[in-house]
Amino acid sequence: MEDETKNNWGSTAWAHLSSTRQHSPLIQCITNFVSMDFMANTLLAAGASPAMLHSLQEIPDFTPNINALCINIGTLTADWLPAMKMAAEVAVKAGKPWVLDPVAAGASKFRLEACIELVKLKPCVIRGNGSEILALFRASVGSTKGVDSMHDSTDAIEAAKSLAEASGCIVAVSGAVDIVTDGKRVVGARNGVAMLQKITATGCSVTALIAAFVAVDPVHAFEATATALSIFGVAAEMAIDLSKGPASLRMHLIDSLYGLDHSTVLKRVNITSL
């Protein structure tokens, strides 16, 4: 049974990656300055088409034509927030899914309140690390080390389920095990390598990959979220053997994602029910 489940997830992951390569969904990213380059390259390597457009003036023309939107508050300032909100509203109105990365949600009142306002604008998926999801669930500042997590993803399972129930979003918590829940179902993706934490913007980039997979399979956002996390992890597993440290892992990760083949995906995708 477990093998069967694993194989099904492998096929689903391959379907999402293949579909991304075939359809090249246009992903608008309103993201932090740190992540822009790596996020765009991750999306390109997966076959998607990234566009880092964040001007308030362009959103009414541009956002209705995208396939999905990724909003990341990593280097948030007050002047960026109206564009994020407008883009989320325009995307929802146009029937396009959007994904929220609540970077360092618990680091300040300003960030936390921005996240809470954004969650009200109906993201399809929220992906954060353990501390971010706990901060959002508790609606409280603290218990985070800036953008890095002070918690294991498994510490936030119940918080993720409650947040998913309350918001109607899929909630993903990244870490050694990536947790994905819709409030009822919970799966864990056990792919990836610990050194991913030593490369900035890997979390941001996997959130953008989730947006790409949700764009090609919007009615299965739960599955698309789990497979995106797993595929990113599998690419890292392939890359680590070729790497000498974080800088070369970063390079090989992009190459591995670009070159991932069917048999590797079927063999390595490791998603199970929790």
Ligand X SMILES: Cc1ncsc1CCOP(=O)(O)O
Residues in contact with ligand ADP by the rule CB under 6 A? 129, 148-149, 174-176, 178, 192-194, 196-197, 202-203, 206, 229, 232-233
- Indicate whether 147 belongs to the interface with ligand X (CB under 6 A): yes
C-beta separation of 193 from 166 below 8 A = no
Query: Least separation, in Å, of the C-beta of 20 and ligand ADP?
Result: 17
Q: Which of residues 77-136 bind ligand X (CB under 6 A)?
A: 103
Residue 35: Cβ-neighbour burial (10 angstroms; 0-12, 13-18, 19+)? buried
Contact flag: residue 203 with ligand X (CB under 6 A):
yes
Phi, then psi, of 108 in degrees rounded to 5: -160, 160
Whether the CB-CB separation of 259 and 233 falls below 8 Å is answered with no
Give strand pairing partners of 148. Answer: 145
* Among the residue ranges 57-65, 79-87, 137-145, 201-209, the one whose residues contact ligand X (CB under 6 A): 201-209
Phi, psi of 129 (to 5 degrees): -85, 180
Q: Which does 34 bind (CB under 5 to 8 A by kind): ligand ADP, Mg ion, ligand X, none?
A: ligand X
Q: Is 269 helix (H, G, I), strand (E, B) or coil?
A: coil
Number of residues that bind ligand X (CB under 6 A): 12
Q: Please, is 199 exposed, middle or buried when counting C-beta atoms within 10 Å of its C-beta (0-12, 13-18, 19+)?
A: middle
Q: Applying CB under 5 A, which residues contact Mg ion?
A: 103, 203
Q: How far is the CB of 206 from Mg ion (least distance, A)?
A: 9
Name the minimum Å distance from CB 74 to ligand X.
Answer: 3
List 69's β-bridge partners, or say none.
28, 98
> Residue 35 binds which one of ligand ADP, Mg ion, ligand X, none, with CB within 5 to 8 A depending on kind?
ligand X
Residue number of the CB atom closest to ligand ADP: 203
The residue within the footprint of ligand X, chosen from 11, 18, 21, 34 (CB under 6 A), is 34
Question: Is residue 129 within 8 Å of residue 175, measured between CB atoms?
Answer: yes
| Amino acid type, 143 | S
**Where along the sequence are the contacts to ligand X (CB under 6 A)?**
32, 34-35, 74-75, 103, 147, 200-204
